[in-house]
């Protein structure tokens, strides 16, 4: 049985990963900004939920004080930022940059002493870094930053393994499910597999990155070959 912490586990891919691991018998803690809501969601499948706001890194140590040993750490939290450089919204940009780059790093810093040589970490980026769309200014920047973060953590924390997953458009995730079918259909035609990645595909990839003892400092794209479409 592994001890698993999923940061940003109340929704979407993080939630599906937490549910899968709890179903496998692991001890799972998931986080969201509202601790009561996170715990209510987690209890549905035998996990525990707690409050953590990645946008307030100075509060992370206190928020995670009751977390014990961590075998597998998944950093999936995100806030959406539709930002064009021509209409740059500095506050929105600062929120996402803080959340993913400083927030993810501070979670790792806080938990280092609770990890061990066989622990593993997965950071969530995304393919907007390779195939940006109008409004992706901050998202693309931050996703590219995840690569640097992964590399430096893999060196600094060795032998703890640190990998990153970069989903393309995940068609059944809450964010994309809310989009018009026409948008999704166009994206499907641009994807060599003829289908969009699913949350189950990404969960499977994250699980692989955490379990395989020789996969380290790898950026795994889960996008059906979208960049070639
Ligand atoms: N969906 C896609 O197609 C796609 C594509 C590329 C990359 N990704 C990446 O995959 C990951 C999961 O995406 P998703 O679409 O499944 O996510 P989602 O459904 O939007 O869920 C986001 C999660 O982040 C948490 N969160 C939001 N603001 C937070 C904050 N300030 N501090 C801590 N947690 C916060 C939310 O919890 P609360 O609201 O409870 O706080 C929620 O659990 C993200 O990192 C995203 O960038 C997704």
For residue 229, the model assigns a pLDDT of 84
pTM: 0.98
CA distance 195 to 174: 17
Q: Smallest Cα–Cα separation from 205: which of 125, 104, 141?
A: 125
Q: Is 130 exposed, middle or buried (0-12, 13-18, 19+ CB in 10 A)?
A: middle
Distance 120 CA to ligand 1 centre (A): 20
49 lines ligand 1 (CB under 6 A): no
- Residue 30: cis peptide before it, omega within 30 degrees of 0: no
188 lines ligand 1 (CB under 6 A): no
- Closest atom of ligand 1 to 199 CA is 16
CA distance 43 to 24: 15
CA distance 22 to 205: 17
CA distance 156 to 105: 12
226 lines ligand 1 (CB under 6 A): no
Beta strands at 120-124 and 72-75: parallel, antiparallel or unpaired: parallel
78 lines ligand 1 (CB under 6 A): yes
For residue 15, the model assigns a pLDDT of 98
Mean pLDDT by 10 residues, the chain (229 residues): 97 98 98 98 98 98 98 97 95 97 98 98 97 94 98 98 98 96 96 98 98 98 95
Contacts of 179 (CB under 8 A, 6+ apart): none
């Amino acid at each position: 049985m592994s001890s698993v912490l999923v940061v940003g586990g109340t929704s979407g891919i993080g939630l599906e990963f937490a549910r899968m691991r709890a179903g496998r018998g692991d001890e799972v803690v998931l986080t969201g900004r509202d601790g009561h809501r996170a715990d209510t969601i987690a209890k549905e499948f035998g996990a525990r939920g707690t409050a953590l706001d990645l946008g307030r890194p100075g509060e992370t140590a206190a928020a995670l004080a009751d977390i014990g040993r961590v075998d597998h750490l998944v950093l999936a939290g995100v806030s959406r930022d539709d930002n064009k450089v021509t209409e740059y919204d500095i506050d929105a940009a600062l929120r996402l940059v803080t959340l993913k780059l400083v927030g993810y790093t501070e979670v790792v810093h806080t938990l280092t002493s609770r990890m061990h040589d066989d622990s593993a970490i997965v950071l969530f980026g995304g393919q907007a870094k390779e195939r940006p769309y109008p409004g992706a200014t901050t998202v693309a920047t931050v996703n590219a930053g995840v690569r640097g973060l992964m590399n430096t953590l893999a060196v600094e924390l060795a032998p703890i393994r640190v990998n990153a997953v970069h989903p393309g458009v995940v068609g059944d995730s809450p964010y994309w499910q809310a989009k018009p079918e026409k948008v999704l259909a166009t994206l499907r035609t641009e994807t060599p597999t003829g289908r969009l990645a699913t949350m189950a595909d990404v969960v499977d990839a994250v699980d692989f990155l955490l379990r395989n003892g020789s996969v380290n400092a790898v950026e795994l794209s889960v996008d059906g070959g979208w960049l070639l479409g």
